[in-house]
Structure 1
Amino acid sequence: MNAPHCCIVGAGRGISAAVAEAFGREGYNVSLLARRPEKLKPLVQDLQKKTGRTLCALGCHADNDDDLRGAIAQAESMLGPVQVLVYNVAASETAKPSALTSDQLIADFRANVVGALTAAQAVAPAMRKARRGTILFTGGGFAYEPAHSYASLSLGKAALRNLTSSLAQELGVDGIHVATVTVYGFIQSGSHFDPRRIAEAYIELHRQPPGRFEIEKVFK
């Protein structure tokens, strides 16, 4: 309970698992929030063995404000205030702009952007009181180069990058580091876009001292 707490929203295999391991090795206990937490049991057990830290998996729908706030509150009741928040949610309908319905776009936007804001709002008060904390969002190259087949996700990643910048301006004065890791490619173990390599960018951002905060690391 004395160890710091890293909360990862949108947990699973890939980037979030690698980030959980990286922060575990940094001495953090880790909460993993996902729609189906029961599927994370083997991952939790594996990471606990590897890092020696405490991990827990909790159910959460990132597109539901009350559900997300409740899951973060539950995680904090178990592991203490969140010092590092990682938002790693990506919801997308594979549809071109001309075929994308407003309902599809709104549903994806709630998960990709509104959920990120809700999570940040949930942890920011304690971080402000402590005058330190880190909020990291997983961005994507679609924010710079939209893909017509992924119109919804492209819009979401562009908006998330914008949100990162405005939150960084507001919260940076309180010692809170807000940044995005922009991944310009598809995740694949053993490749340039290996999750373990990408996780290093999250750690690098977290280690930056006040006055040297970067708001984005582009991994390409």
Structure 2
Amino acid sequence: MAKVAVITGAGAGVGRATAEEFARQGYNLALLSRNKDRLNKAVDELESCYGIRALAIPTDVADAKAVERAASATEDELGPIDVWVNVAMATVFAPVSELTPEEFERGTQVTYLGQVHGTMSALSRMRKRNRGTIVNVGSALGYRSVPLQSIYCGAKFAIRGFTAALRSEIIHDKLKVHLTMVDLPAVNTPQFDWAKNKMGKRAKPVAPIYQPEVPARAIFFAATHKRREVWVGFPTVRAILANRIAPGLIDKYLATAGYKGQLSQEALPVNAPANLFQSVSGPYGAHGRFDTKSRTGSWEMFTDRHKSVLLAVVGVSILGIARLAFGKK
């Protein structure tokens, strides 16, 4: 019998790519997002290409009751949920001084509380069966914040705290439920075209950029292997580790580079779409407009899959450095 996965934010971006990766691996799917048309298109494509069953459930993850209804509908139609993946997000490109309390509230409800709601609905069912996996999707920006993305960064920091607290509770209760987190780099998704933007210039991801299939593969790997956390891409590793060493220096660097790196020279189109409070219509898919600038693979996933090999390589490197530093005088 095919396993069942629920993917939030499945209408576009990383969520859409993740849905395809799970479908490729033979999972039946429940796809959650606000846009019914994109969900229905995804269902048609995934069922025809991979021969799996897929269920479109239009859902605003900021609404806990709606998420709970989606979880019940999934199990009624497809069976017990084996994997729940929390991907949905919403944000605004703007400095704090230009944001409203309502924008902060909405972005936090979707990006942070959406993952809380999904986790709670999944865990309540997995707890009874004492099995299952929950994947929370984080970001390098959940370790090292950048200007113009305070809503998103705050939410991703919160997800880390929530996930860590819950992990200890799962261990305390001796549950055989796996909780993991996948932290992403800059990804080529439609968010840079439809996220609310108050900067007057089109937003762009900070290079290097990865295609959404890269985090999708990492998410599937995290869901099917016992890893506490997976970091995707060297920029994620660099941001996390560098912030531990010299956070003050990075603050000053980002005061300039954090603006230039996230804004193109293209003027923001008049009446540019903004998906914060309502879904944006249109033929959006997994990819954004940066296909020619995006990488299709991540060497760093190798490090997580082959830790023993990496440790051996690092050990040999350290020995070599030590011999050079402390060799014959």
Using structure 1 for the length normalisation, give the TM-score: 0.89
2: CA distance, partners of 1:72 / 1:37 = 17
Q: 1:115 Cα deviation (Å)?
A: 1.8
Matched, 1:217 2:234: no
The answer to whether the Cα contact below 8 Å between 1:132 and 1:176 also exists between their aligned partners in 2 is yes
Q: Which moved more, 1:40-49 or 1:80-89?
A: 40-49
Q: Which secondary structure state, in structure 2, belongs to the residue aligned with residue 138 of structure 1?
A: strand
Q: Which moved more, 1:178-187 or 1:146-155?
A: 178-187
Identity %: 26
Match of 1:206 in 2: 223
Offset from partner CA, 1:39-73 (integer Å, 9 cap, x none): 22222111112221101111111111112211221
Match of 1:177 in 2: 178
Report the AA paired with residue 214 of structure 1: R
Offset from partner CA, 1:128-152 (integer Å, 9 cap, x none): 2222111112211211221211110
The answer to whether the Cα contact below 8 Å between 2:218 and 2:230 also exists between their aligned partners in 1 is yes
Q: Which secondary structure state, in structure 1, belongs to the residue aligned with residue 93 of structure 2?
A: coil
- Seen in structure 2, the aligned counterparts of structure 1 residues 66 and 186 have a Cα distance that, compared at 3 Å, is same
Q: Which secondary structure state, in structure 1, belongs to the residue aligned with residue 210 of structure 2?
A: coil
2: CA distance, partners of 1:17 / 1:69 = 21
Q: Which secondary structure state, in structure 1, belongs to the residue aligned with residue 17 of structure 2?
A: helix
Q: 1:194 aligns with which of 176, 192, 211?
A: 211
Match of 2:66 in 1: 67
Q: Which secondary structure state, in structure 2, belongs to the residue aligned with residue 187 of structure 1?
A: coil
Q: 1:8 Cα deviation (Å)?
A: 0.7
1: CA distance, partners of 2:144 / 2:43 = 35
2: CA distance, partners of 1:21 / 1:192 = 20
Q: Which secondary structure state, in structure 2, belongs to the residue aligned with residue 90 of structure 1?
A: coil
2: CA distance, partners of 1:75 / 1:126 = 12
The answer to whether the Cα contact below 8 Å between 2:187 and 2:211 also exists between their aligned partners in 1 is no
How many residue pairs match? The answer is 214
Q: Which secondary structure state, in structure 2, belongs to the residue aligned with residue 32 of structure 1?
A: strand
- Structure 1 segments, 4+ long, off by >6 Å, are none
What does 1:116-131 align with in structure 2 at a 5 Å threshold?
Answer: 116-131=115-130
Match of 2:52 in 1: 53
Q: Which secondary structure state, in structure 2, belongs to the residue aligned with residue 82 of structure 1?
A: coil
The answer to whether the Cα contact below 8 Å between 1:38 and 1:57 also exists between their aligned partners in 2 is no
Offset from partner CA, 1:89-123 (integer Å, 9 cap, x none): 11112221223222221221111111211111111
The answer to whether the Cα contact below 8 Å between 2:62 and 2:117 also exists between their aligned partners in 1 is no
Q: Which secondary structure state, in structure 2, belongs to the residue aligned with residue 31 of structure 1?
A: strand
What does 1:20-31 align with in structure 2 at a 5 Å threshold?
Answer: 20-31=19-30
Unaligned runs of 5+ in 2: 190-207, 234-329
- Seen in structure 2, the aligned counterparts of structure 1 residues 215 and 29 have a Cα distance that, compared at 3 Å, is same
2: CA distance, partners of 1:152 / 1:34 = 20
The answer to whether the Cα contact below 8 Å between 1:100 and 1:152 also exists between their aligned partners in 2 is no
The answer to whether the Cα contact below 8 Å between 2:8 and 2:31 also exists between their aligned partners in 1 is yes
2: CA distance, partners of 1:136 / 1:32 = 15
The answer to whether the Cα contact below 8 Å between 2:132 and 2:177 also exists between their aligned partners in 1 is yes
The answer to whether the Cα contact below 8 Å between 1:87 and 1:116 also exists between their aligned partners in 2 is yes
Q: Which secondary structure state, in structure 1, belongs to the residue aligned with residue 98 of structure 2?
A: coil
Using structure 2 for the length normalisation, give the TM-score: 0.61
Offset from partner CA, 1:14-53 (integer Å, 9 cap, x none): 3222211222232210010110122222221111122211
Q: 1:192 Cα deviation (Å)?
A: 5.8
What does 1:5-154 align with in structure 2 at a 5 Å threshold?
Answer: 5-154=4-153
Q: 1:13 Cα deviation (Å)?
A: 2.5
Q: Which has the larger radius of gyration?
A: 2
Unaligned runs of 5+ in 1: none
Q: Which secondary structure state, in structure 2, belongs to the residue aligned with residue 182 of structure 1?
A: strand
